[in-house]
Amino acid sequence: MPFSNSATTYGSVTKSFHWLTALLILSNLPLGWYATELANEIQAAPAEDLIERAKLLFSIHKTLGVAIFFVALARILWALNQPKPALLNGDRGLESLAAETVHWLLYGSLVLVPLTGWVHHAATSGFAPIWWPLGQDLPWVPKSETLSGLASSLHYLFMLVMTGAIAAHVAGALKHHLLDGDATLRRMLPGRIDATPTARQPNHALPVIAALAIWVGAMGGATALGWFAISKSDGPATLTAVESDWQVESGQLQVTVQQLGSAVTGSFGEWTADITYAETPNADGIHGHVEVTIGIASFSLGSVTQQAMGADFFNTTEFPTAVFSADLLASANGQFARGTLTIRDQSVPVELPFDLSIAGDTATARGTLSLDRRDFNIGSGVTDEKSLGFGVDVSFELTAVRAN
């Protein structure tokens, strides 16, 4: 069997690329579907065995996806430098146009499907890792839940187009083999099989245009169905604004957990702070008081945000807010807040050290608090730290101005 293609037959390299690609895709499609079904089960009822199984399956799926991407690039580069055996039914206008259109859809999908999946992975946090030496991130791909959601929708859409193209490709090959009795299928099998193409061949531009039209049509349909709608994080406030001696102008409240061996950081988009503070303490050494109310539903934690809202975790249906109430004190080691943190139905004594700087009527503060999620009955069904660490780091920073 020849190494390279000729005008009438495919070479061994092209055939190897073809069947390797087919093996990878036909393995990865059901794997991704099953892993997604497991993830849906976990959303409803987290269980360690399901989490571990889903992690394993998603890691295999993602790693195979990256492998498909590089195999596809190598296949395309090889094809660009090889003659392409012409069609055996080029004189059948619509049939040959459909065949070439499907080939363009397949080549495009081989790049678009794994690439959008990789972008989805790189843009989010809280993931099953890729078993790949290139790491988890991609150049020029920022951590962005909006980008991740868009890439996820495109990944699914392109996967549907690819699945349809594969079905059409297989059906066409079987039709050639069983009904037409020609060598279209056989010349992609091992061994040298020459077949004489028809003198007439399809226009090269029309199949490309047709493939582009299918992709555009698929994206237009998905857009009409709302697949690419961006959820607004700045929706109606669920917390009542507070009047405070110090009004928070800007700030952020973040949480970092260890999930599947990786640090994952999330943030709360909605919280209020009622702050009283005086530079001179009272007789008990207290400078003031703070009460922070946190809208749990505003929490974003990458790909596991919905899971975090579930009954085994924050359980936002029953416990929509968390409250930190503390006195503000100072010691030789610096400022700290001593009080209680209430999450779900658990109130736990905590002491939060923080740095404070006041310039005129403007104050900036930042601090970090280490917690154990088990103290708050969060994720009680997940007892393996390899899946979800027990330790949680809470950090904040804010700028506040003195009320007149």
Q: What is the CATH number of the domain that holds 259?
A: 2.40.128.110
* Full-model pTM: 0.79
Same domain, 148 and 96: yes
Report helix angle 93-123 to 48-80, nearest 10: 130
309 shares a domain with 219: no
Burial grade of 173 (CB within 10 A; 0-12, 13-18, 19 or more): middle
234: in domain:
no
Q: Do 145 and 50 share a structural domain?
A: yes
Rounded (5°) CA angle 157-161-167: 145
Q: Are residues 135 and 29 in the same domain?
A: yes
| Residue 335 within any structural domain of the chain | yes
The answer to whether residue 390 sits within a structural domain is yes
Residues 170 and 53 in one domain: yes
What DSSP letter does each residue of 251-289 carry, written as one string?
EEEEEEEEETTEEEEEEES-EEEEEEE-SS--TTSEEEE
| Structural domain for 197, as ranges | 12-224
Q: What are phi and psi of 17, to 5 degrees?
A: -60, -45
Taking the C-alpha atoms of residue 272 and residue 291, their distance in angstroms, rounded to an integer, is 8
Report the C-alpha gap between 4 and 85 in whole angstroms: 11
Same domain, 290 and 397: yes
220 and 280 within one domain: no
Among 169, 193, 224, the domain boundary falls at: 224
pLDDT tens for the chain, 404 residues long, are 688 988 888 999 999 999 999 999 999 999 999 999 988 887 767 777 888 888 899 999 999 999 999 999 999 999 999 998 888 888 888 899 999 999 999 999 999 999 999 999 999 877 788 987 777 888 889 988 889 989 999 999 999 999 999 999 999 999 999 999 989 999 999 888 878 888 888 888 999 999 999 999 999 999 999 998 765 544 445 788 888 999 999 999 999 998 877 788 889 999 999 999 998 999 889 999 999 999 999 998 877 888 888 888 999 999 999 999 999 999 888 899 999 999 999 999 999 999 999 999 999 999 999 999 999 999 888 888 888 899 999 999 999 999 87
- Regarding whether 190 and 109 lie in a shared domain, the answer is yes
- Same domain for 323 and 178: no
179/273 same-domain check: no
Report the number of distinct structural domains present in the chain: 2
pLDDT the model gives residue 232: 52
* 220 and 250 housed in the same domain: no
Residue 92: predicted pLDDT: 85
Sequence-separated (6 or more) residues with CB below 8 Å from residue 98 = 168, 172
CA gap 374, 389 in Å, rounded: 10
The answer to whether 187 and 9 are in contact (CB under 8 A) is yes
Which of 130, 109, 114 is closest to 65 using CA atoms?
114
| Count of other CB atoms within 10 angstroms of residue 66 | 18
Query: What CATH number does the domain containing 200 carry?
Result: 1.20.950
**360 and 312 share one domain:** yes
Q: Does any domain span residue 5?
A: no
Asked if 184 and 88 touch (Cβ cutoff 8 Å), the reply is yes
In a domain, 324, yes or no: yes
Of 194, 224, 254, the last residue of a domain is 224
